[in-house]
Chain A
Amino acid sequence: MASIRLQNVSFRYPVYELTGRSLKLSLLRQVTGGRLASEAGGVGVQALSDVTFELAPGDRLGLIGRNGSGKSTLLRVLAGLAPPQEGLLEIKGRVVPLIEKGVGINPELSGEANIELPLRLLGANTEEINRARRDIPQFTGLGMFMQLPVRTYSEGMKTRLSFAICTALNADILILDEWLSAGDIDFHERAQARLNALIERTRIVVLASHSLDLIANVCNVVAWMDRGRLVMLGSPDTVLPAYLHSMRTPVALVQAGAA
């Protein structure tokens, strides 16, 4: 069974290098969008504060918000690699985090030799790896290039390979950052089909993106984040228009200009 439950989750990044609170920090506030919290022993960036929501099988959550609003941190909290300092986090099911591109890929090794490690890092078992070995050369269409070192690949080929690798797994919960939607045009349709199939067979999907079209297409729940807080949570029909509206207000323009 897959489920996600967050209750009053807060996450704070300590900033060790900064000693004095000064102009730099107030500038930082504008740039990061995070609230700068000060406390004994140093300064930290409050990346998430008091986030509460629950997801059940069938939910596809889209995270929106401007840069520094806490989307990436929330993805990392859900992926289990950034344990929150406060609040309750309950995740049931197999989580596959696809947060960064090309994790575990060694450019010196051939495409073929690069299939296993990324998948192992994501938690794949031997059976899944064997399936991926059969399926990836065919899907990517890399042909003979599978035997050559990845450093000889073009950017497009690298993207194909890493896309194919990280979509080869089955997950209960999928954590996606938006890089996954990339790819050249010829490949794009096949990639889209594969991604849709992956999302289809996954119980819960969390997707962070700046593309509101993508969110509207994929998600049935949208969370609007701002400065680490959950501003609005609901169906795309209600949240997306409200988000768009706020982006057009003068305040948002001023902040966007400052950033």
Chain B
Amino acid sequence: MSASLSDFLSIFARFRTWYLMGNQDIQMRYRRSLIGPFWISISMATMVFALGLLFSQVQQQPFREFLSYFGCGLVAWTFLSTMMNEGCTSVMDNEGNLRSLPLPVPMLTARMVYRNLVIMAHNMLVVGIMLALFGQGFTPAALSALPALALYVPIGLFFGVALGPICARFRDLPQVIASILQIAFFMTPIFWMPGSRMERHVLVELNPFYHLIEIVRRPLLGEAPELVNWTVSLAVLGVVMTLAAISLPLTRKRVFLWL
């Protein structure tokens, strides 16, 4: 158990290592382009605007209101789901290094989380501009989206620590997770609004992603999230923490065999 703990604490002890790796990841993705990582912002802006235009027509929603709703939800979803997908591959992505160096899995997961945090910051820029132009602008309530986004960080981290090694053992697991997340994207109110008929519907209320999105989206739209949103979100954190606490001691000595 203490070995697992020290593996985990390597996130703090070796922060320069994952910080450097994460920065190189970003640099590699957007090298040779003039605006670099701001491509992230531009592609997100294009996507939000185009799909926002389309779905507001399809669902006969007022464009400005829908655009804010969709943009905030999509950025939150992208951050969370990318971390979950990449958490599954974080051990496999480091296969070469793991074959010749003793590197703790939590440190490699931190690299992935940090990389996604940087991408999310670029996407938030789009949300900020969008809310200023089309939404109600900045409200003090929007600041309470920050602790919500901060909650995503340990969720992504523990999810990756729990599943990264297992995905290295069972190579088809990442595809399964990706499919589940794909379905969850359509099942979660992101590009559709739960109108009066869907309000408090079990399909919405029992979907943990709905609550996780709400704690970020509502503050950005100037509303306060409900208590249940935060309760479920914290429960999700509890679940992934438990999974990580089970997975890490079981897998830490075997990861090398699964490369």
Contacts and interface: CB of A to CB of B under 8 A. Distances in A.
Given A81-B256, A82-B256, A83-B256, A103 B100 contact: yes
Interface in A76-122: 76, 79-83, 97, 99-100, 103-104, 106, 108-109, 116-117, 120-122
Interface residues of B, number: 21
A137 interface: no
B20 A81 contact: no
A121 B17 contact: yes
B257 A121 contact: no
B27 to A, nearest CB: 8
A58 interface: no
A106 B28 contact: yes
Given A103-B96, A109-B24, A120 B102 contact: no
B103 interface: yes
A73 to B, nearest CB: 10
A14 interface: yes
Most buried by B among A83, A121, A123: A121
A75 to B, nearest CB: 9
Interface residues of A, number: 23
A122 B97 CA distance: 10
B105 to A, nearest CB: 12
A13 interface: yes
B200 interface: no
A13 B14 contact: no
B102 A79 contact: yes
Contacts of B97: 103-104, 121
B77 to A, nearest CB: 31
Interface of B is mostly: helix
Nearest to A83: B253
Contacts of A100: 96, 99-100
A81 B24 contact: no
Contacts of A103: 96-97, 100-101
Contact of A81 (B14, B16, B98): B98
Contacts of B257: 13-14, 82
A97 B99 CA distance: 11
Given A13-B257, A116-B20, A117-B21, A81 B28 contact: no
Nearest to B18: A120
B28 A121 contact: no
Contacts of A122: 101
Interface in A13-40: 13-14
Nearest to A106: B24
Nearest to B21: A117
Nearest to B13: A123
A97 B31 contact: no
A120 B10 CA distance: 13
A122 B24 CA distance: 17
Contacts of B102: 79-81, 97
A82 B98 CA distance: 10
B14 A120 contact: yes
A104 B14 CA distance: 15
Most buried by A among B27, B101, B253: B101
Interface string B95-132: 01111111100000000000000000000000000000
Q: Which 10 A-B pairs have the closest CB atoms?
A: A100-B100, A81-B102, A83-B253, A99-B100, A120-B17, A80-B102, A82-B256, A117-B20, A103-B100, A121-B101
19 contacts: A81-B98, A81-B256, A83-B256, A97-B100, A97-B101, A99-B100, A100-B99, A103-B96, A104-B97, A106-B24, A109-B27, A116-B20, A117-B17, A117-B20, A120-B16, A120-B20, A121-B97, A121-B101, A123-B14
Given A103-B100, A121-B103, 5 more contacts: A100-B96, A103-B101, A106-B28, A117-B21, A117-B24
